[in-house]
Amino acid sequence: MLQEKIEQIKKDFSIEISNINNDKQLEELRVKYFSKNGLVASLFILLKDANKDEKPQLGKVLNTLRSELQNQFNIVREQVSKSESSKNINVDLSLPGLERNVGSKHILTQTLDEIKSIFKGMGFSVFEGPELESDYNNFEALNFPPDHPARDMQDTFFISDEFVLRTHTSPVQIRLMKEQKPPVRAIMPGRVYRNEAVSSRSYCMFHQVEGLYVDTDVTFAELKGTLASFAKQFYGNNLKFRFRPSFFPFTEPSAEMDITCFICNGAGCKICKHTGWLEILGCGMVDPNVFDNVNYDNEKYTGYAFGMGIERIAMLKYGIKDIRVFFENDYRFLKQF
């Protein structure tokens, strides 16, 4: 009698479990077979009335049945829970993929890389100095008289009486010459600071590249040749340029280099203030007083120096009209380069 019931329950269970599709049906099946008043428990109740001789044997059969059914149940429960959770992910295969933004070097880094590679090709090495600089290196050693307007509080961020945020990369010339004996030929890139009102044309922080070449018999002609070669490699071979007399305390004679305005091709426009020319850098022959300050023999050595603003150089090359965009990290600007 019990044996028959066991067989019947086994059959029913295997049919019912094969039709289970969701949590609700699974729970119903669990209650029907495995709860306190379920079918499996009812078989154990019948066992009490069984013949004494058969009891041990039937008990074993019942235990095996219970664990078999429980195993099947567990397997199906696992399958159901997997399919239930996958139902919750609403996958729409027709949706476009997520856009991945690939980063690139900042346009100022790219510009500096290009400047470095051009000057390296002409025999210059790269030398760097700190942004926090002594007043002495930033001004005095560069032959700025004590009352020079560049020292004014309006231009310089003073940290103390003795230290400033460097206002240009020229003090790195002093550091280089104090460290190395001639011949020296290096460019010196870096960040500089000026206490100026922020506008489309000026920012409180920007970048410069300084250049210095000192040896016996360095001439102004070499300075012109080197800078002309740089400008042509950077802006293109068709470029026209000119050197205009100027003044800097640390060079004598001093000059500024202009290139023809790329917007109007020299005809005159708003960008070049109707002159047809754009200034790209300052330069000159190192003043003998500067050599004195670094203990270079100014009878024996001559040298040239130059300095340019990296933002300005890049603005002219790419037609960027506002210096602030370099520092705003607006992806729409950055991704163009």
> CB of residue 293 vs ligand DAH: minimum separation in angstroms?
15
Which of 187, 305, 314, 316 touches ligand DAH (CB under 6 A)? 305
Which of 144, 213, 248, 277 touches ligand DAH (CB under 6 A)? 248
Q: Which is nearer to ligand DAH, 33 or 185 (CB)?
A: 185
Q: Which is nearer to ligand DAH, 144 or 235 (CB)?
A: 144
136 Cβ contact list (under 8 Å, min separation 6): 162
> Which residue stretch of 48-56, 230-238, 289-297, 304-312 sits at the interface with ligand DAH (rule: CB under 6 A)?
304-312
Q: Between residue 202 and residue 221, which ones bind ligand DAH under the rule CB under 6 A?
A: 210
Q: How many whole angstroms separate alpha carbon 230 and alpha carbon 257?
A: 12
129 Cβ contact list (under 8 Å, min separation 6): 166, 169, 171, 172, 175, 176, 188, 190
**Positions of E strands within the chain:** 125-126, 132-134, 163-165, 184-193, 205-215, 241-248, 251-260, 277-286, 302-309
> CB of residue 209 vs ligand DAH: minimum separation in angstroms?
9
Which of 134, 138, 170, 293 touches ligand DAH (CB under 6 A)? 170
Q: Between residue 116 and residue 145, which ones bind ligand DAH under the rule CB under 6 A?
A: none
Q: Does 283 bind ligand DAH (CB under 6 A)?
A: yes
> CB of residue 254 vs ligand DAH: minimum separation in angstroms?
6
Q: Which is nearer to ligand DAH, 182 or 284 (CB)?
A: 284
> CB of residue 150 vs ligand DAH: minimum separation in angstroms?
9
Which of 151, 166, 168, 207 touches ligand DAH (CB under 6 A)? 168
Any idea which residue has 């495995």 for tokens?
34
Q: How many whole angstroms separate alpha carbon 126 and alpha carbon 274?
A: 37
Q: Does 188 bind ligand DAH (CB under 6 A)?
A: no
Q: What angle do CA 245, 293, 187 make, to 5 degrees?
A: 60
Indicate the burial class of 238 (C-beta count within 10 angstroms; 0-12, 13-18, 19 or more).
Answer: exposed
Residue 320, classed as helix, strand or coil, is coil
Q: Does 251 bind ligand DAH (CB under 6 A)?
A: yes
Q: Does 171 bind ligand DAH (CB under 6 A)?
A: no
For residues 191 and 131, the answer to whether their CB atoms sit within 8 Å is yes
Tokens of 120: 């390296």
> Which residue stretch of 106-114, 179-187, 228-236, 305-313 sits at the interface with ligand DAH (rule: CB under 6 A)?
305-313
The residues that touch ligand DAH, with contacts defined as CB under 6 A, are 168, 170, 210, 248, 251, 282-284, 305-307
